[in-house]
Amino acid sequence: MGEKVRICFHDRCFDGTASAAVFSRFYRERFNAAADCQFTGLVHGPAGAVWDERMFDADVNVIVDFKYSSSPRLTWWFDHHQSAFLTPEDAEHFRRDRSGRKFYDPTYKSCTKFLATVAEEKFQFSAAPLAELVEWADIIDGAQYESPEAAVTMNVPATQIALVIEASNDDRMTTRLIPELASRSLAEVAVLPFVREQFRELYQRHANSMEIVRRNSECHRGVVYLDVSDFPVEGYNKFIP
Ligand SMILES: [Mn+2]
C-alpha cells in the first residue's frame, strides 16, 4: 500500500501553490519516493472553523502557507503569516510541540523560501532545482517586483503563471499545476497548453481592466482615486493604479 500524503495549501496564491510543490518534492526525495501526494486548496473565510478534522485523512497530513491546526493528526506545518494562529491556545500548542516538524517564521516574505530553507538546513534536501520557483515566490508574495510595471505587464513565465493561479475560474487549476511546478522550469510550465490557454483568456480580461482603470483614475498629490463601479470589472490587479 502506498503512503498517502495530504498537502493542504493556500489556494489561488502563487506562494501557497509553490509551497505545495516544494513540499511534495521534498517529501518524495527525503522520506518516501512512492508517496501518493494529494492536494487540498484552501482560501481564507470568516474567522473560526477553518480546519475540519476530516480533512486530515491521510497517513501524513501537511499544511503549508496556511493557519495552524492543533489536530493530533497534523504531521507537518510551515507558515509565515502574522495571523497564523486562530487562538492563543493554538499558539501555545505550537510552542509546546516537540515533533520537529512544525515550523513558523513570520520574518520570511514567502512560505516557499522558508520551507526550502528549513528543508535544506534540517533535512539535507537540495532545493537547487527549484531555485527559480523559490525566488519568484519570494518576489510575488513579498511584492518585491522591480517596478509596478513588472507586476502588470506579465511578460515573464512566473507572472503569467501567477495570473493563472490567482484568477482562474477552474477550481482544479492549482492542483493540476503543483506537480508541474515541482518538476519543470517556469518557462516549461507557462507554455503547457492548459496554462497557455487560461493565460490568454485571463490576460485579455486583465488588459481590459487596465484600460478601464486608466480611463477612470485621477491622481491628486500622489494618491490615485478611481471609481470602476460602473464597469464589469471582477477585481483588478492591485498594481494597476
Ligand atoms: Mn504566503
230 C-alpha vs ligand 1 centroid, how far in Å? 33
Structural domain that includes position 129: 4-144
80 C-alpha vs ligand 1 centroid, how far in Å? 7
Closest CA to 5 of 64, 46, 48, 84: 64
Instruction: Answer yes or no: is 228 within a domain.
Output: no
27 C-alpha vs ligand 1 centroid, how far in Å? 20
Alpha carbons 226 and 222: distance in angstroms, whole number: 13
148 C-alpha vs ligand 1 centroid, how far in Å? 20
pLDDT recorded at residue 1 = 63
**CB 182, CB 21: distance < 8 Å:** yes
107 C-alpha vs ligand 1 centroid, how far in Å? 11
Compute the half-sphere exposure of residue 182: CA atoms within 13 Å on the CB side of its CA: 21
77 C-alpha vs ligand 1 centroid, how far in Å? 13
Instruction: Answer yes or no: is 124 within a domain.
Output: yes
Instruction: Answer yes or no: is 241 within a domain.
Output: no
Burial class, 34, CB count within 10 angstroms (exposed 0-12 / middle 13-18 / buried 19+): exposed
Instruction: Answer yes or no: is 50 within a domain.
Output: yes
15 C-alpha vs ligand 1 centroid, how far in Å? 5
222 C-alpha vs ligand 1 centroid, how far in Å? 29
**CB 186, CB 157: distance < 8 Å:** yes
97 C-alpha vs ligand 1 centroid, how far in Å? 22
Low-confidence ranges of the chain (pLDDT < 70): 1, 46-49
Enter the pTM of the model: 0.92
110 C-alpha vs ligand 1 centroid, how far in Å? 5
| Other Cβ atoms closer than 10 A to 101 | 16
| Other Cβ atoms closer than 10 A to 181 | 26
111 C-alpha vs ligand 1 centroid, how far in Å? 5
Instruction: Answer yes or no: is 174 within a domain.
Output: no
pLDDT recorded at residue 48 = 53
Count the domains in the chain: 1
Instruction: Answer yes or no: is 175 within a domain.
Output: no
pLDDT recorded at residue 47 = 54
117 C-alpha vs ligand 1 centroid, how far in Å? 15
pLDDT recorded at residue 232 = 73
231 C-alpha vs ligand 1 centroid, how far in Å? 31
pLDDT recorded at residue 239 = 81
pLDDT recorded at residue 8 = 97
Instruction: Answer yes or no: is 65 within a domain.
Output: yes
| Secondary structure string (H, E, C) spanning 148-167 | HHHHHHCCCHHHHHHHHHHH
Whole-number Cα distances in Å, 13 to 126, 159, 175, 234? 24, 12, 12, 17
pLDDT tens per residue across span 145-195? 888 888 888 889 999 999 999 999 899 999 999 999 999 999 999 999 999
18 C-alpha vs ligand 1 centroid, how far in Å? 9
Instruction: Answer yes or no: is 233 within a domain.
Output: no
Cβ within 8 Å of residue 132, ≥6 positions away: 158, 185, 186
CATH number of domain containing 16: 3.90.1640.10
92 C-alpha vs ligand 1 centroid, how far in Å? 22
